[in-house]
Amino acid sequence: MNRKIGLIFLVFFTNITQLLAASLQLKVERTAVSQEDQLVVQVILDGARNAPSPSFPEGQGYTVQYGGVSQQMQIINGRMNSQAVFTFFVSFDRTGSVDLGPATTQLDGKTLTSNTLKIQVLKPSEKPPEETYYFVESQIDKNEAYVGEKVLYVFKFYNRAQIANAELNMPKFDGFWKEELGKQREYRETREGIDWQVTEIRVALFPNGPGQLKIDPAVLGLDAVIRSQRRRGVGSFFDDAFFGSTRTKRVRLTSESFEVRVKGLPVNADVKTNLVGKFEAKAALSKTSQINVGESLTLTVGLSGEGNVWDAKLGKLSLDSVKTYEDKPTVEKAERNGKLWAKKEFKLALVPSRGGEVLVPSMEFPFFNPETQKYEVAKTAPISIVVNGSDGGGEELTIVGSRNRKKQDIQVFGSDLMPPMSGTENVESKAWTQNQVYWMLAFNGLFPMFYGVLFALRRRREKYSHDLTYQKMSKALSQFRRALNKVGADTEDAPERLAKAFIRYLNDRLGENLQGLTTQEVERILPAEKFGSDLIAAVKSTLSKLDACRFGGTELRGEELASIKEELESNVQKIERKAP
């Protein structure tokens, strides 16, 4: 319930306040039109919604046709705004310059009157001038200034087209100290009935010295998307970019250049300053104006206003029995209502060394005020400080519990060595003998050796895991011996098993893959220059014996078996010694 009442009150209250600020405005999209075309005119009623359709004066060389109304309510930044937009189609009866409007309407018994627009009506055969969709403008607030006086430079970009890749080159402002006044501003502006999106950049300039200073033009480059020339006749619907053709054009817009005559400050023998503007000075203490001897307090002197405050300097402040320590001054700048406001603060730590009253005198900052064309002075008010403590060398007050006592050197009456050590803990030397040092060095050498062993192991393992031949080679001997041990006196196919075991050993150990071994193959896999002819002969002999038993059906038993096993073992040992 309360919410409903609140809403009604809000709407009612809004209507009353907006009625007071209601206005009527004519807007067109172009100011030059062919006589055979109709001009779309919008009459905007701001601040109210329910008003009768506006009317235009008759007999002015044009005919008006009502096209409807749209109403809208917007809340912008918490502020409610009502608006009614009346659309008219205007046909012109004659060519030449025609004054359109003013449109009028009645609102709560009051007559609201709009602006008048000058429309250029062209003959049907005449080509309409190219419409302007963007332009730049720059201005300065004065062409003549004193050294250090602020000159305001404003650059504006007016646009009603779709743009991209904008690149702005501002002037260098040679001969000026420049301060940008806040970020760029963007707003809408209606000029001769046409709505423009405006981007504005403001720069405060302070001439460094007298003379004729030139401000170069600002240059703005951009890609503009331009709709092709309008179709003849009425119909904003088909003028939409979706239906109409567009083209992108790289344009370069240049603003005006200016010249500023900079004058030196008027000569005044009594005043020496380079501050120009309007300033005020203030001084304040960080604490109460009563302190104890030896305590410090901060004196802040601030000079603020419009102008080159950063050039201000604080004169020497000498106070009796007070030590002063100057801190680095700070400068603060801000934009206030489109003007550059600046403040410079000087901070001084004051430490009184004697009790009594200390008077911080007024501090003066002379400056030239260009408005009054006179030298003026910004002054701080004098400040009195009461210092508690001794006054002129008397005894200082003793304050019980106070931590602010004066430090003094310790009175030394004598000096001596520290006493002897009576314990037995460090009586015996723990120093290493030379031998112990060598042992320690040797011990340190063990670590790299240990690492070396592990490194070799890893290499071996890597090689083992990747190289099947190597695996076979390393296992060949053990496998052969296992096979040899399995052959006993009661083994029926002992020659077969022994021959196979030996051939497998040779294959594995020498990286071969042979099913049987002929004499030629034995000579090939056991080259004489490496293994020796004796070994080759022995191997051949052993193999022949085994083959004879295998294929001849002779059994190997007892001493014969032991003998041939010994031969095999002997051959293998010789091969192991000579094989890679």
Partner 1 sequence: MDIIQRHYEALSALKDGDFEKAIKAYKNGIDTSSDLLGGAVHYNLGILHFRNQDLGKAIFHFRHAREQLPRNADVAFNLNYVRKQTTDKIEVQNESFLGKFVTNNYPLTFEESGILTTVLWGTFMICASLRLFKKIPWLSYVQRGLLVGVALSAAATFAIYTKQSDFGVVTSEEANVYSGQSTKSVLLFRLHEGTEFTIKSSEQDWLRLVLADGKTGWMHKKHAIH
Residue numbers at the binding site for partner 1 (CB under 8 A): 415, 417-433, 437, 440, 443-444, 447-448, 450-451, 454-455, 458
Handedness of CA 102, 103, 107, 111 (dihedral sign): positive
Alpha helices in 511-557 (DSSP H): 519-525, 528-531, 533-552
Judged by CB, which is closer to partner 1: 433, or 485? Answer: 433
Judged by CB, which is closer to partner 1: 412, or 421? Answer: 421
Backbone angles phi, psi at 562, to 5 degrees: -60, -40
3-class SS at 295? coil
Query: To the nearest whole angstrom, how small is the minimum distance from the Cβ of residue 473 to partner 1?
Result: 24
Judged by CB, which is closer to partner 1: 420, or 552? Answer: 420
Judged by CB, which is closer to partner 1: 257, or 436? Answer: 436
Give CA–CA dist 20/23, Å, rounded: 9
Burial class (CB in 10 A: 0-12, 13-18, 19+), 395: exposed
Picking from 443, 472, 459, 436, the residue whose alpha carbon sits closest to that of residue 579 is: 472
Element holding 351 (H helix, E strand): strand 339-352
* DSSP characters over 310-368: GG--PPP--BTTEEEEEPPPEEEEEEETTEEEEEEEEEEEEEESS-EEEEE---EEEEE
Is residue 498 within 8 Å of residue 485, measured between CB atoms?
A: no
Query: To the nearest whole angstrom, how small is the minimum distance from the Cβ of residue 469 to partner 1?
Result: 24
> What is the DSSP secondary structure assignment for residue 237, as one 8-state letter?
G
Q: Say which amino acid occupies 14.
A: T
Cα angle at 482 between 477 and 487, to 5 degrees? 125
Query: To the nearest whole angstrom, how small is the minimum distance from the Cβ of residue 455 to partner 1?
Result: 6
Query: To the nearest whole angstrom, how small is the minimum distance from the Cβ of residue 449 to partner 1?
Result: 10
Query: To the nearest whole angstrom, how small is the minimum distance from the Cβ of residue 454 to partner 1?
Result: 5
Judged by CB, which is closer to partner 1: 426, or 513? Answer: 426
The tokens describing 135, both together, are: 């332009």
Judged by CB, which is closer to partner 1: 127, or 430? Answer: 430
Judged by CB, which is closer to partner 1: 58, or 416? Answer: 416
Query: To the nearest whole angstrom, how small is the minimum distance from the Cβ of residue 537 to partner 1?
Result: 46
Is residue 186 within 8 Å of residue 163, measured between CB atoms?
A: no
The tokens describing 551, both together, are: 């294929």
Judged by CB, which is closer to partner 1: 430, or 577? Answer: 430
The tokens describing 124, both together, are: 């049907």
Cα angle at 494 between 490 and 496, to 5 degrees? 155
Judged by CB, which is closer to partner 1: 13, or 439? Answer: 439
Query: To the nearest whole angstrom, how small is the minimum distance from the Cβ of residue 314 to partner 1?
Result: 44
Query: To the nearest whole angstrom, how small is the minimum distance from the Cβ of residue 413 to partner 1?
Result: 16
Q: Say which amino acid occupies 92.
A: F
Backbone angles phi, psi at 572, to 5 degrees: -65, -40
Give CA–CA dist 515/518, Å, rounded: 10
Element holding 15 (H helix, E strand): helix 2-20
Query: To the nearest whole angstrom, how small is the minimum distance from the Cβ of residue 409 to partner 1?
Result: 18
User: Taking the chain, what is the end-to-end CA distance rounded to the nearest angstrom?
Assistant: 104
Query: To the nearest whole angstrom, how small is the minimum distance from the Cβ of residue 445 to partner 1?
Result: 10
Q: Which residues pair with 81 in a beta bridge?
A: 74
Judged by CB, which is closer to partner 1: 7, or 440? Answer: 440
With a CB cutoff of 8 Å and minimum separation 6, the contacts of 399 are: none
Instruction: Report strand pairing: 277-285 vs 297-307.
Output: antiparallel
The position carrying tokens 């060598």 is: 438
Judged by CB, which is closer to partner 1: 212, or 434? Answer: 434
Query: To the nearest whole angstrom, how small is the minimum distance from the Cβ of residue 451 to partner 1?
Result: 5
Judged by CB, which is closer to partner 1: 59, or 419? Answer: 419
